[in-house]
Structure 1
Amino acid sequence: MDLKELQEKVEVHLSSVWQTPVKVKEIFHLSGGACQDNYALELLLNSSKQSVVLRTDKGGSLLSSLSKRDEYKVAELVFKAGVKTPKPVYLEENSSIIGAPFFLMEKIAGKATGRYITKDKELDSYRKTKMVSDLATNLAKLHTVVPESLNDEELKQKLKLVTIQNYMTLAIADLRQSLDELPEAHPAIELCLNWMESHAPNIDKIVLVHGDFRTGNFMMNSEGLQGILDFEFAHWGDRHEDIAWLCMRDWRFGRLNKEVGGFGDRKDFYKEYESTSGISIDPFKVTYWEIMGNLRWAIGSAQQAERHLSGKDKGIELASIGRRTAEMEWEAMRLIEEIENAI
C-alpha cells in the first residue's frame, strides 16, 4: 500500500471512529526493522494538531512476538506504571482497514540509532551524567508490573503466565523447540542449552519483562531520555533478563568496554536499579541471561534467514541478519567459558 492510499484509509476510518473530521496533513515511513512498519502522521482534528506514530506488522513474527492488540495493552500498562514511553492513543484490531491490525501512539522526539546513542557528541554530557540512571530507573518501574496486579486475564495469559518454579525449564524448552524447527543443526546451541539446564539459577519474582530492552529501542536527544519503545516481545519472566539483554555484546555498537548498551558501566546501572527497586542485582544471573539472550538471538537470526531462504519473505535485511547466528553462538560459549574458569 502506498502512502497516499494509507493516508486516505486512515482519514476515513479515524473520522468514523472518533466522530469528527480527521485529516492527515503529513505522513512518512519510519524505520521499523525486519518485522514492523512504522509511519509518522500529523493529524488535524478540529483545528488542533496531533503527532502520532502508526505501528503495524510487515511480515512474519520473530520468536514470541505479541499481536498488535497485546503490544498496545502492554504499552498501556507500562505507561500507567510511570515508565517514560509514548502515550498509547488508539488500537485497531480489524485487519481489513489497512491490511493488518495497527495502533497509534504519541510521536516523541529524539533518535534511537545505536551510533547516535553510543557515540554522537550531542549526547556526551547526558551520556556521562544521567543516561544510565534514567534507563535503570525506568526499567525498575517497568518491573513493578506483576501478574497479580493485572485484571485483564486474557492479556495475563498471552504474556505466558509462569511461576518461579517452572520458568527456567519452560524458557529452555521454548528455545529447544525453536531450534528443532530450524532446517539445519546448530550443535553449539545444543551444547550451551545443556550447560544452561545444569546451571539454572533461582528466580526472586516473576515480573513484566520488556523482552528487547537495548540500545536502539529507546529515543534520546540532548535533553535526555524521551521514551522507551517496542514491547512486542514483552512477557512474564525474570528481571535479570532485561538487564542482561541491554548488556549483550551485540548491542554495544563497537564500544565493547562500555558493557551497558555501549554507553555505561554495569556497576553504575546495578546501583541505580537497586536504588529505585530495592532489589539487589545478582551478577551471575545477569551473565546467565546474557548466555540465554545470545542463544535467543542466534535462533532468532537463523529464523529470519529461513524466512528469506524459504521464499516466504525475501529480503536482503533478513538474509544479512541470518549471517549473525555464528557470532551469537561464539559469544554464548565465551561467556560459559568465562564462568567455568572463574569457578
Structure 2
Amino acid sequence: MNPDAGAVTAQALAEVLAGQGSTAVSVTELRRLTGGASRQIFSFDAVRGDGTRSAYVLRRDPSGHGDAPRMRAEAACLRAARAAGVPVPRVVSAADTAPGLDSPFLIMERLPGESIPRRILRDESLAAARARLAHDLGAIAARIHAVPVSEVPMLADDDPLDAISGIYRDFHEPRPVVEIALRWLAAHRPETHRKVLVHGDFRLGNLLVGTGGVEGVLDWELAHRGDPIEDLGWLCVRAWRFGGTAPVAGVGTREELLDGYEREAHWRPDLNDLHWWEVFGTLRWLVLGRFQAQRHLRGDERSAEFAAIGRRVCESEWDLLRILGMIGHGDALPPEPRPEPHHRGDLHGLPDVPGLLDAAIAELGDGIAPAVDDPGAAYRLKICVNLLRIAQRELVVGSAQRAAHAGRLTRIGCRDEAELALRIRTGQLDPADPNVRSAVAGAVAERLRVTNPRHLVSRE
C-alpha cells in the first residue's frame, strides 16, 4: 500500500465491500490520487473470493471535516444521472461513516479515460475526441439538465448571485474588481430558465476523456438546482482552458457547445445569456478561490495548495476585466518595475535572499522533482516550487510596485484598494473614469506580474 494513503486502510475498504456481497474481498493497489482540494480521493482494486477483480475509487471527507448531507447528495446525483444516461461511474457504496474510514464516503467504479486537463489538450491519441469535445460536452450537459429534480430533492436552490455575494462580503475584504462585476451582473441579469439539476463544476479536470470521447463526469459535490446555462458558462471560464486558446475547455467554440446542447435538449441557449454566466462563473471562481485560501489563512486546513490558490485570485480579476471590456488587447500595462538592488556585502553575506531562493528553486524544481516517483508528492513539490518563485518575484520588484500602486490611488483620492472598492460599490467612483480604471487594472496587473506573468498574455 502507498504510505500516502494515510488513515485509509485496505482492511477497512475490504470490510465495506464485503458487506455488499456474499464473498470475502481483498483490497490491493491502494493509493491516494492527486487533486481533490476539499475531498480525499483514493484508487484501489478489489478481488473477490471467486477471483473477480474490480477497479474502484474512494471519495472521502478529510477526518474532522465531514459533511454527511453533501456526500449523500453527491451519491444521489450520481445514481440519478446514471439512470438518465449521463456517463458517470456506478456507486458501489456510500455511508456517513464506517470502521477505519471514520468520515462520510462513497465508493464508485473506476472508469477508463484521462482526467488531467493538459494531457487531454495535448495527447495525440485524443485528437479525434478533442475535435468534437465541445459539441459532446454540450450534449452531456443537456442530459444532466434532463435529470428529474424530484430525484435530488435535497439539493439547494439558492439565488446564485446572492449566494456568491454573501460569501464575498463575509471576507470583509472589499475588492474593486468584484464590486465592478457584481454591479454589472445585477444590471444585466437574464431571465431565469426552469430550475434543473446543475452539476456545478462541469469542466476539464472533472471529466474522463478517452479515444472515443467522454467516458465519465466526476465530482458532483457542488451540484444544486439552478439555471441550466450555469454549467455552460462555467465551462467557458478561462481558468478551465488550461492553456488552450479556444473558449470552451480550451478546445472548441461557444457555437459548437450550443450546437451539442441544442441537439440533445431541443432548444438553444442565447449567446448573451451564456456571456452573463461566463462572467458569473469567473467571479464565482475568484470568490471560491479566496474562500479556499481563507481555510489556510485561518488555520482550519493548512495547505500549500490553498495558499497558492489565494495568490492566483488575481488571474480571475484580470479575466473579469477582460470579459467586461475594461481592458483590451491594446491597453498599456503599468511599466515594468525596476528590480530591487542586491545588498552585496551586508550583514548576512552572500548569496542574498533572492539568490538563496533561486538556488532552492533550481534544486527543488530541476534536481529533486524529476526524481520523485510518488505523483502526490511530486504535485505538492511543484506547488511549493511555484510558491517560492512568487516570493522571489515579490521580493525583487514588490517595493517598486507598491510605490506605483500608491501613486495611482492618490490620483483618485483613495488610501487603499478597500476604500476604492467601497466607493465603487456606493457609486461615488465610476469604473469608466480613466483614472479609476487605471487604478483597478494597474493593481491587478502588478499582482499578476508576481503571481503568474504568463496570464497577462491573451488567450482569446
TM-score range, shorter chain: 0.7 to 0.9
Query: For residue 51 of structure 1, what is the amino acid of its counterpart?
Result: A
Which residue of the other structure, out of 124, 138, 141, is the alignment partner of 1:139?
141
Deviation at residue 224 of structure 1 after TM alignment = 2.3
SS at match of 2:103: coil
Per the alignment, residue 51 of structure 1 pairs with 55
Any conservation in 1 of the 2:197–2:225 contact (CA below 8 Å)?
Answer: yes
Alpha-carbon distance change, 311 to 280 in structure 1, aligned in 2, over 3 angstroms: same
Which of 156, 162, 178 is the equivalent residue of 1:173? 162
Residue aligned with 2:112, SS:
coil
CA–CA separation in structure 2 for the residues paired with 1:11 and 1:95: 11
Residue 208 of structure 1 and its aligned partner are, at CA, apart by 0.7
Please report the TM-score for the alignment, with normalisation by the length of structure 1: 0.87
1:100-179 mapped onto 2 (5 Å cutoff):
100-128=103-131, 130-147=132-149, 150-151=150-151, 155-156=152-153, 158-161=154-157, 170-179=159-168
**Alpha-carbon distance, 1:315 to partner:** 1.4
Give the deviation of 1:222 after TM superposition. 2.1
Equivalent residue, structure 2, for 1:93: 96
1:212 to 186, 190, 201: 201
Shift, 1:227, TM fit: 0.8
Distance 1:138 1:228 in 2: 9
Q: What corresponds to 1:330 in structure 2? A: 318
1:288 and 2:247 aligned:
no
Q: CA deviation at 1:80?
A: 0.6
Deviation at 1:65, TM superposition (A): 11
Which residue of the partner structure matches residue 455 of structure 2? none
Q: Which residue of 1 aligns with 2:348?
A: none
- Hey, what does 1:313 align to over in structure 2? 301
Tell me which protein shows more strand as a share of its residues.
1
- Report the Cα distance in structure 2 between the residues aligned to 1:89 and 1:251, rounded to whole angstroms: 30
Mark the CA change 1:338 to 1:289 in structure 2 (over 3 Å): closer, same or farther.
Answer: farther
- Residue pair 2:5, 2:42 contacting (<8 A) in 1 also: no
Instruction: Determine the structure 1 residue equivalent to 2:33.
Output: 30
Task: Tell me the CA shift for residue 196 of structure 1.
Answer: 1.2
Q: TM-score, normalised by structure 2?
A: 0.66
Measured in 2, the distance between the counterparts of 1:29 and 1:74 equals 24
Report if the CA contact (8 A) 1:68-1:101 is conserved. Answer: yes
Q: Deviation at 1:195?
A: 1.8
Alpha carbons 2:289, 2:309 under 8 Å: kept? yes
Number of the residue aligned with 1:165 = none
Contact 1:82 1:141 in 2 (8 A): yes
Structure 1 unaligned runs (5+)? 163-169
CA distance in 1, matches of 2:238, 2:34: 23
Number of residue pairs the alignment of both structures matches: 324
Q: Counterpart in 2 of 1:247?
A: 236
CA distance in structure 1 between the aligned counterparts of 2:302 and 2:163, rounded to whole angstroms: 26
1:269: which partner in 2?
A: 257
Larger Rg: 2
Q: How far apart, in 2, do the equivalents of 1:183 and 1:97 lie?
A: 40
Q: Which amino acid aligns with 2:156?
A: K
Q: What residue number does 2:14 align with? A: 11
Whichever residue aligns with residue 235 of structure 1, its letter is H
Deviation at 1:268, TM superposition (A): 1.3
Question: CA separation in 2, counterparts of 1:95 and 1:324?
Answer: 37
- Answer yes or no: is the 8 Å Cα contact 1:3–1:27 preserved in 2: no
Matched with 1:42 is 45
Q: Structure 2: where are the runs of 5+ without partners?
A: 328-430, 433-460
Taking only aligned residues, the RMSD between alpha carbons, in angstroms, comes to 2.5
The structure whose RCO (Cα within 8 Å, separation 6+) is larger is: 1
8 A Cα contact 1:110 1:221, kept in partner:
yes
Deviations 1:200-251 (A, max 9, x none): 1102211111111111111112232211111111111111111111111111
Per-residue CA distance 1:254-291 (angstroms, 9 max, x = gap): 222x1110011111111121011101111111110111
Identity of aligned residues (%): 32
| Number of the residue aligned with 2:184 | 195
